Structure 1
């Protein structure tokens, strides 16, 4: 339904408060500290058990331009260029016009300010109006109610649960599955502009 290399010419996406720049060797430097020495609460909210080295992060960032089946961005605050997080469209299903979405802010100090929601809105605009996707899906852990509300503001609809999907601090947690379809995005976009 969409070309397998649909993300080859990944653009910079600019909003009122943030701009999303494609991850490469240069922009990936913004992620090194956040990934190698992450905020413990961010690790929990994203369910990230694995630890990464600086070399791994730099090699991964430098390889992003070679991967046209996914789109990765750093989230930079417009006012001062500070990197507040990263986001991505990944796991492209070209035959069915779908991709998964993920977003993470680098530090809990950046949460609750709308950066994640604006980044999500920018990515959805790109996904549906430029890349021509039919469906964008995500998973969010049951204990992250603020993220679920943010995704709902961007038009995502809860569609199910993966039970006991994450084991963290001695307890099992569900992953809430959410998605948004192209026609739902078009309706939301029309409602916002009308």
Structure 2
């Protein structure tokens, strides 16, 4: 049984180095900067140029949703917003959902924030919300993310050939998933 109330109320999740807290309009400034950061855009395949109003409206609409949970990733030591992640497309009948994560720039890459945040969100998805399966997509040119997902327990399931057009080249999209009973390192 999927606990929709757990999605609506979205508790804070605390790790050793990061805190996951409700993503909302208070994270506009750092989120807006990240949406304009070239490497973050490339790693997330973001083609759209959003307006400030679109971003503010989207952020204001995050709290209280019944089909997803959007979290800001905050570094515990100084409360710096290092990125965001989400459990999306929650299908209560099939007890499944999708996962996405984006760090706010290269200064946050390779420090373990994403891996720790991913593990926290998976524990929430499986142990609190009651999902059975969480899936994601990652681009072939992002092996660092693929390794981080594998460290969290995701398994490669498939390949969408030439599914992303970026900088004049086609790129494959790798699909990965983790099941509730899979090992979570």
Tell me the TM-score normalised to structure 2 length: 0.95
Q: Which runs of 5 or more residues in structure 1 are unaligned?
A: none
Larger mean Cα displacement after TM superposition, 3-12 or 39-48 = 3-12
**Per-residue Cα deviation, 1:45-78 (whole angstroms, up to 9, x for no partner):** 1100001111111111111114221100111111
| In 1: Cα distance, 2:150 partner to 2:84 partner | 19
Aligned to 1:11: 11
Runs of 4+ in 1 over 4 A off after TM superposition: 3-6
Mark the CA change 1:103 to 1:89 in structure 2 (over 3 Å): closer, same or farther: same
Matched pairs, number: 185
Question: Does the 8 Å contact 1:28/1:74 carry over to 2?
Answer: no
Question: Does the 8 Å contact 1:140/1:148 carry over to 2?
Answer: yes
**Per-residue Cα deviation, 1:86-119 (whole angstroms, up to 9, x for no partner):** 0000011111000000000010111000000000
Q: 1:25 Cα deviation (Å)?
A: 2.7
Question: Does the 8 Å contact 2:134/2:179 carry over to 1?
Answer: yes
Aligned to 2:116: 118
Counterparts of residues 34-45 of structure 1 (less than 5 Å)? 34-35=34-35, 37=36, 39-45=37-43
Q: Which runs of 5 or more residues in structure 2 are unaligned?
A: none
Q: 1:3 Cα deviation (Å)?
A: 4.9
| In 2: Cα distance, 1:66 partner to 1:126 partner | 16
Aligned to 1:159: 157
Q: 1:6 Cα deviation (Å)?
A: 4.9
The answer to whether the aligner puts 1:50 opposite 2:48 as a matched pair is yes
The answer to whether the aligner puts 1:81 opposite 2:82 as a matched pair is no
Aligned to 1:109: 107
Aligned to 1:26: 26
Tell me the TM-score normalised to structure 1 length: 0.90
